[in-house]
């Protein structure tokens, strides 16, 4: 608040800025301020309104979740009924629709507004003098339910229209906004669709699955269910959005005379209108629109079940009129349904790269939204139990966007007699190892690790992928055959593949029948080898041409001695593949670590590990707590890395890659000097996650003992002597009684010392004085923008983060800094003001 501003003025300014930010975000889709600034303004406004209750207005952005839960919804009678639409399912029906209009209005090529048909819930919003006073569902079209309190929580719905008179109480004046010749009518009912964006829906369900909550069947049900909540606080937590597509009652004002101009006007008043809306001409224009939107359907951020065509000019609409409850001037052109029913033929499980066992329903093939679906995920065993899917059941499957088809629900009325609940098999169907579930985890896993061919295939595929070892030309099918044919057992085996093996593999895979294979092999094999092959082929298991069994059996017998006849076989692809494999031998630590497929280690973590530790030998023998010294690596990730290297099989795989595999990591370097500030006994002790041993206790221990190893052999009284409270001392002693814990502490202590010895002398110059430090900027700076300040700090090596943690090196706090400053103070993180920042930047030019 500037000195000259009264609280009322400040509140008005904040409201204007918040409304503006909402408009940019939801209507223009051009957000211009970060979420944190938005939150800060909202908080300031809230505080002002609490301090001056007379300043609060019902249309204030603080008043979205205001109302108390109700016991039921009141009825709302729609003055202008909410109609439905006739449907078209074919091009012919669209031609017929356009022909009828053309004839009646005597027009050759009528103009239409073509729009997406959002798959959500129709609602009506009533604005009086530009202020939202009521929101209702469609109900039966004549009477709906009053869901105002719930709709107010949907941020995309403006509580006050842009350009509505600003001021309190009844003195609002209907007013024009600069770019619009139309004043806001006294009464304006806006019709549109509330929907749940796909990303929000997926995220919501993921959380629900994780916490055993109720999952939403689809975004449409999600939207409908959310609006039907009696407690608006629940609705407020649901990811809902809104698009306007028409009008209901309008009184006391005029509006444009075409539908498209009305939508543009609604948008100018702050109501979101889909960007996909377009003006098109004639049946060809409509069908072209249908195809263009159809092609984008899967990649849209929300579900649509078709498109809607509306005659654009209102005079024409009036002339066309209505039949029953649908207009003659509009029609919905439907897309193929995203949900279908089919039956479950079997339930199998799929084993992922890290062993996760995902149940998959094998379905009687069914077309869903233009794609043949034969498998659908059941997510996890809990989900199956919740849905109670059984073999033989009729189920609803859904395929939307890029997500994997999933089973939505069971049609219980159609369940055949004698079915039984499904159970997770005790053993992996691929390798026979036990399937286990770690405590507290939703996922079941095959414990076979890399001895499981399914995990091996996934691991190989990941290993070879572009961002890992980048072996171009090694596709999924090929890897599958290499593993099944026994030619590749571990990643290192890839480096033994030669031309003969690749050519033979492809010949066996591509041959239509065994006879075809023999005919082709004849051209390339010496006589005695051919004779041997003839004998082998004869004893292979029989099976249809497409059967893999005989191919796999043959591959397992090894590669015959070839003398390739280059005139009769293409070899270029195989030479390229061999070369790609050869090229991948020279790699970087970052790629290598990523390629190993360690759980939780994506590219960015691999990069951080490589940058901070520099050396695979160090990393592969490091106890897990030390990984937590790298910013952004938390306990879970650190444990996963440690766990990976604890497996002898994984260590063997690494040895093999570097040994006979011939992989060379070219960028090994000493650990980063930045570690110096991160390493220490206290940090190590805190990282071990020993109950009751907080950072303060760890500091006390580090001050009293020379090393981790020294602590391992001590008694509780010595910990008390070091200053620990009784309880913490006992907890530490109890923890140390476990041999594994003691061993970990000793190993971690030794690793810490090794690491410290190997740190280079601090060479700040090479990397910038703030290298490895995370800083946070908050509040408004006067002499430069936050972005500029961030760039200059980054140039000095700093990482600029959005939130404050105890690892933050310092926080730069400008004018009106809020919660981040508070958090920094609470955590004891250093705080710089603008003057100090400028001085620092100046001295490090």
Which residues sit at the interface with ligand IVH, rule CB under 6 A? 83-85, 115, 117-118, 122, 138, 193, 245-246, 308, 327, 330, 332
Q: How far apart are CA 444 and CA 378, in angstroms?
A: 13
Distance in Å, CB of 122 to ligand IVH, minimum: 3
Find out whether 378 and 359 touch, Cβ atoms under 8 Å: yes
**Residue 689 backbone zone (phi > 0: left; psi -120 to 50: alpha; other: beta):** left
- Catalytic: which of 72, 79, 108, 117? 117
User: Cβ closer to ligand IVH: 322 or 573?
Assistant: 322
Q: How far apart are CA 143 and CA 75, in angstroms?
A: 7
User: Cβ closer to ligand IVH: 15 or 259?
Assistant: 259
User: Cβ closer to ligand IVH: 84 or 343?
Assistant: 84
* DSSP H helical ranges for 465-601: 476-484, 499-510, 514-522, 527-538, 549-556, 572-584, 589-595
Distance in Å, CB of 274 to ligand IVH, minimum: 8
The CB density around residue 482, as the number of other CB atoms within 10 Å, is 23
Q: How far apart are CA 577 and CA 595, in angstroms?
A: 18
* Closest of 844, 819, 816, 625 to residue 14, by C-alpha: 816
User: Cβ closer to ligand IVH: 318 or 466?
Assistant: 318
Distance in Å, CB of 118 to ligand IVH, minimum: 4
Q: How far apart are CA 480 and CA 611, in angstroms?
A: 34
User: Cβ closer to ligand IVH: 80 or 696?
Assistant: 80
- Torsions phi, psi of 586, nearest 5? -90, 110
**Any bridge partners for residue 765, and if so which?**
none
User: Cβ closer to ligand IVH: 37 or 115?
Assistant: 115
User: Cβ closer to ligand IVH: 244 or 497?
Assistant: 244
462 three-class SS: helix
369 three-class SS: coil
Distance in Å, CB of 310 to ligand IVH, minimum: 7
- Torsions phi, psi of 128, nearest 5? -115, 125
Which residue is it, tokens 């041997």? Answer: 532
Distance in Å, CB of 509 to ligand IVH, minimum: 49
Find out whether 839 and 806 touch, Cβ atoms under 8 Å: no
Distance in Å, CB of 109 to ligand IVH, minimum: 22
Distance in Å, CB of 824 to ligand IVH, minimum: 47
Find out whether 443 and 357 touch, Cβ atoms under 8 Å: yes
Whole-angstrom CA distances from 708 to 476, 522, 692, 704 are: 47, 69, 17, 11
Looking from the CA of 140 toward its CB, the CA atoms found within 13 Å total: 4
User: Cβ closer to ligand IVH: 332 or 817?
Assistant: 332
Q: Is 1 exposed, middle or buried (0-12, 13-18, 19+ CB in 10 A)?
A: middle
Q: How far apart are CA 218 and CA 408, in angstroms?
A: 8
Residues 6+ apart with CB under 8 A from 830: 809, 810, 811, 824
* Closest of 64, 57, 61, 23 to residue 269, by C-alpha: 23
How many residues make up the chain in this entry?
845
Which residue is it, tokens 């890029």? Answer: 402
Looking from the CA of 585 toward its CB, the CA atoms found within 13 Å total: 20
Q: How far apart are CA 695 and CA 612, in angstroms?
A: 23
Buried b (16+ CB within 10 A) or exposed e, 415-439: eeeeeeebeeeeebebbebebeeee
Find out whether 174 and 129 touch, Cβ atoms under 8 Å: yes
User: Cβ closer to ligand IVH: 193 or 480?
Assistant: 193
Which residue is it, tokens 């309104």? Answer: 49
**Residue 627 backbone zone (phi > 0: left; psi -120 to 50: alpha; other: beta):** alpha
User: Cβ closer to ligand IVH: 308 or 729?
Assistant: 308
Distance in Å, CB of 142 to ligand IVH, minimum: 13
Between β-strands 586-587 and 664-665, what pairing exists: parallel, antiparallel or unpaired? parallel
Active site includes 823?
Answer: no
Distance in Å, CB of 266 to ligand IVH, minimum: 12
Q: How far apart are CA 304 and CA 290, in angstroms?
A: 12
User: Cβ closer to ligand IVH: 278 or 707?
Assistant: 278
Find out whether 373 and 339 touch, Cβ atoms under 8 Å: no
Distance in Å, CB of 330 to ligand IVH, minimum: 5
User: Cβ closer to ligand IVH: 227 or 829?
Assistant: 227
630 three-class SS: coil
Find out whether 154 and 241 touch, Cβ atoms under 8 Å: yes
The CB density around residue 830, as the number of other CB atoms within 10 Å, is 12
Distance in Å, CB of 275 to ligand IVH, minimum: 13
Locate 119 and state its tokens.
């798959």
Distance in Å, CB of 87 to ligand IVH, minimum: 8
User: Cβ closer to ligand IVH: 247 or 745?
Assistant: 247
Q: Which residue's CB atom is positioned nearest to ligand IVH?
A: 122
Q: Which residues are catalytic?
A: 117
């Amino acid at each position: 608040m500037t000195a000259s501003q009264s609280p009322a003025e400040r509140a008005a300014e904040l409201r204007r800025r918040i409304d503006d930010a909402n408009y940019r975000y939801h209507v223009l889709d051009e957000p211009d301020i970060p979420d944190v600034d938005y939150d800060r303004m909202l908080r300031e406004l809230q505080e002002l309104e609490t301090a001056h209750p007379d300043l609060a207005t019902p249309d204030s952005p603080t008043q979205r979740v205001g109302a108390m839960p109700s016991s039921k919804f009141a009825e709302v009678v729609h003055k202008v009924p909410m109609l439905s639409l006739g449907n078209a399912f074919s091009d012919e029906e669209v031609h017929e629709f356009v022909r009828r209009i053309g004839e009646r209005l005597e027009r050759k090529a009528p103009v239409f507004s073509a729009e997406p048909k959002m798959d959500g819930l129709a609602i009506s919003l009533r604005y009086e003098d530009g202020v939202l006073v009521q929101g209702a569902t469609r109900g039966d079209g004549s009477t709906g339910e009053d869901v105002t309190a719930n709709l107010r929580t949907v941020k995309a719905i403006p509580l006050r229209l842009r350009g509505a008179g600003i001021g309190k109480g009844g003195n609002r004046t209907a007013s024009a906004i600069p770019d619009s010749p139309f004043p806001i009518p006294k009464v304006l009912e806006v019709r549109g669709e509330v929907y749940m964006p796909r990303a929000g829906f997926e995220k919501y369900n993921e959380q629900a699955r994780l916490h055993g909550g109720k999952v939403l069947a689809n975004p449409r049900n999600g939207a409908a269910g959310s609006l039907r909540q009696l407690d608006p606080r629940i609705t407020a937590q649901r990811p809902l959005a809104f698009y306007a597509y028409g009008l209901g009652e309008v009184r006391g004002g005029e509006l444009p005379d075409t539908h498209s101009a009305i939508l543009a006007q609604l948008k100018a008043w702050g109501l979101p209108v889909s960007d996909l809306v377009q003006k098109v001409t004639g049946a060809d224009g409509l069908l072209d629109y249908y195809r263009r939107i159809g092609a984008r359907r899967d990649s849209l951020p929300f579900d649509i079940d078709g498109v809607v065509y509306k005659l654009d000019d209102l005079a024409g609409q009036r002339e066309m009129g209505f039949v029953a409850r649908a207009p003659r001037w509009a029609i919905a052109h439907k897309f193929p349904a995203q949900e279908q029913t089919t039956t479950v033929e079997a339930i199998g499980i799929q084993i992922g790269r890290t062993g996760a066992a995902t149940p998959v329903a094998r379905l009687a093939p069914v077309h869903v939204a233009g794609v043949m679906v034969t498998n659908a995920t059941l997510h996890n065993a809990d989900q199956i139990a919740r849905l109670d899917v059984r073999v033989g059941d009729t189920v609803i499957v859904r395929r939307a966007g890029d997500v994997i088809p999933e089973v939505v629900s069971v049609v219980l009325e159609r369940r055949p007699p004698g079915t039984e609940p499904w159970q997770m098999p005790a053993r992996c169907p691929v390798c026979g190892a036990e399937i286990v579930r770690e405590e507290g985890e939703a996922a079941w896993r095959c414990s076979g690790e890399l001895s499981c061919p399914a995990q091996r295939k996934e691991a190989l595929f990941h290993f070879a992928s572009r961002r890992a070892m980048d072996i171009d030309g090694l596709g999924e099918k090929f890897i599958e055959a290499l593993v099944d044919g026994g030619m590749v057992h571990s990643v290192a085996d890839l480096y033994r593949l030669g031309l003969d093996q690749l050519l033979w593999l492809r010949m066996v895979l591509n041959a239509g029948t065994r006879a075809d294979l023999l005919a082709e092999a004849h051209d390339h094999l010496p006589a005695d080898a051919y004779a041997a092959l003839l004998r082998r082929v004869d004893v292979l298991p029989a099976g249809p041409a497409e059967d893999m069994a005989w191919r796999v059996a043959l591959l397992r017998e090894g590669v015959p001695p070839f003398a390739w006849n280059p005139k009769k076989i293409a070899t270029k692809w195989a030479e390229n593949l061999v070369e790609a494999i050869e090229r991948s031998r020279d790699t970087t630590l970052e790629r290598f670590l990523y390629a190993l497929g360690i759980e939780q280690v994506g590219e960015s973590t691999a990069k951080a590990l490589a940058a901070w530790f520099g050396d695979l030998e160090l990393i592969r023998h490091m106890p897990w707590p030390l990984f937590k010294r790298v910013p952004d690596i938390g306990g879970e990730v650190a444990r996963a890395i440690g766990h990976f290297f604890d497996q002898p099989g994984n260590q063997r795989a690494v040895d093999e890659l570097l040994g006979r595999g011939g992989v060379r990591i070219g960028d090994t370097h000493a650990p980063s000097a930045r570690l110096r500030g991160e390493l220490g006994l206290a940090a190590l002790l805190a990282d071990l996650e020993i109950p009751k041993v907080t950072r303060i206790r760890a500091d006390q221990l580090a001050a009293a003992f020379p090393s981790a190893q020294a602590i391992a052999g001590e008694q509780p009284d010595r910990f008390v002597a070091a200053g620990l409270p009784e309880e913490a001392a006992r907890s530490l002693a109890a923890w140390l009684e476990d041999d594994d814990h003691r061993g970990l502490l000793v190993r971690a202590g030794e690793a810490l010392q090794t690491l410290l010895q190997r740190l280079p002398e601090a060479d700040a110059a090479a990397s910038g004085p703030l290298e490895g430090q995370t800083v946070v900027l908050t509040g408004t700076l006067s002499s430069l923008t936050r972005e500029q300040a961030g760039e200059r700090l980054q140039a000095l090596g700093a990482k600029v983060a959005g939130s404050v943690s105890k690892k933050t090196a310092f926080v730069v706090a400008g004018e009106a800094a809020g919660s981040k400053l508070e958090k920094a103070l609470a955590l004891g993180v250093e705080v710089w003001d603008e003057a100090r920042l400028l001085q620092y930047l100046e001295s490090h030019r």
